[in-house]
């Protein structure tokens, strides 16, 4: 029997995304965002507040990167969610992390995070219900250490962080339990 819990954001898993952009003087700012998803073959949507320092920066530069946080960098990923660049001028510098400029867009790539999407600002949507930044993915780069033999990202090697909206915990992706577009194929034959 199910118990009513009231209004709960009952979506699991949620990604732990590191959104990075330069300000007008070239200073790096990074934020942690869990409310983001792929919304087309070459688009990512981020449901973030307009008043975030990173949001303001990417609106000005029209570019940003989105990296997948991993287990090895959980402490800094969490810090990027706790601290705000609006109140902490040295937020990025405090971490000791390193940024290089993307070769594809005017945005920083945080070297420590193993997978990054480099994006151009494609669209901003604001309604009474949400504020969304949509980026056009122009390149995705990954450390060789997280790639499988076929040259694609291996989730088991990546150990991407997953945010738990229920208990406010971080988890990592686990073992593959099936193949997409295959696990339910037997039902197609009925």
Residue 73: per-residue pLDDT: 97
pTM of the predicted structure, to 2 decimals: 0.94
- Whether 174 has a pLDDT exceeding 90, the answer reads no
Q: How confident is the model at residue 145 (pLDDT cuts 50, 70, 90)?
A: very high
Tens digit of pLDDT for each residue in 8-17?
999 999 999 9
Residue 173: per-residue pLDDT: 82
Q: How confident is the model at residue 189 (pLDDT cuts 50, 70, 90)?
A: confident
Residue 35: per-residue pLDDT: 94
Tens digit of pLDDT for each residue in 46-95?
999 999 999 999 999 999 999 999 999 999 999 999 999 999 999 999 99
Tens digit of pLDDT for each residue in 91-136?
999 999 999 999 999 999 999 999 999 999 999 999 999 999 999 9
- Whether 186 has a pLDDT exceeding 90, the answer reads no
Other CB atoms within 10 Å distance of the CB of residue 113? 25
- Whether 176 has a pLDDT exceeding 90, the answer reads no
- Taking residues 19-39, what's their average pLDDT? 96
Measure the CA–CA gap between 29 and 22, rounded to whole angstroms. 6
List, in order of start, the domains of the chain with CATH numbers.
14-188 (2.30.110.10)
- Taking residues 153-175, what's their average pLDDT? 92
Other CB atoms within 10 Å distance of the CB of residue 120? 17
Measure the CA–CA gap between 39 and 90, rounded to whole angstroms. 33
Indicate the average pLDDT of the chain.
95
């Amino acid at each position: 029997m199910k118990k009513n819990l009231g209004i709960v954001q009952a979506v699991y898993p949620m990604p732990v995304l590191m959104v990075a952009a330069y300000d007008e003087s070239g200073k790096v700012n990074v934020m942690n965002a869990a409310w983001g998803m792929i919304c087309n073959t070459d688009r990512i949507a981020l449901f973030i507040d307009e008043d975030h320092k990173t949001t303001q920066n990417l609106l000005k530069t029209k570019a940003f990167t989105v990296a997948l946080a991993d287990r090895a960098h959980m402490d800094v990923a969490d810090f990027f969610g706790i601290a705000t660049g609006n109140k902490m001028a040295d937020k990025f510098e405090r971490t000791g992390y390193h940024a290089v400029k993307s070769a594809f867009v005017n945005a920083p790539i945080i070297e420590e995070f193993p997978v990054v999407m480099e994006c151009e600002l494609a669209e901003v949507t604001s309604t009474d219900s949400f504020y969304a930044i949509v980026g056009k993915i122009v390149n995705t780069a990954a450390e060789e250490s997280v790639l499988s033999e076929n040259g694609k990202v291996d989730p088991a090697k990546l150990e991407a962080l997953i945010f738990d909206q229920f208990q406010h915990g971080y988890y990592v992706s686990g073992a593959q339990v099936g193949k997409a577009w295959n696990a339910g194929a037997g039902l197609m034959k009925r």
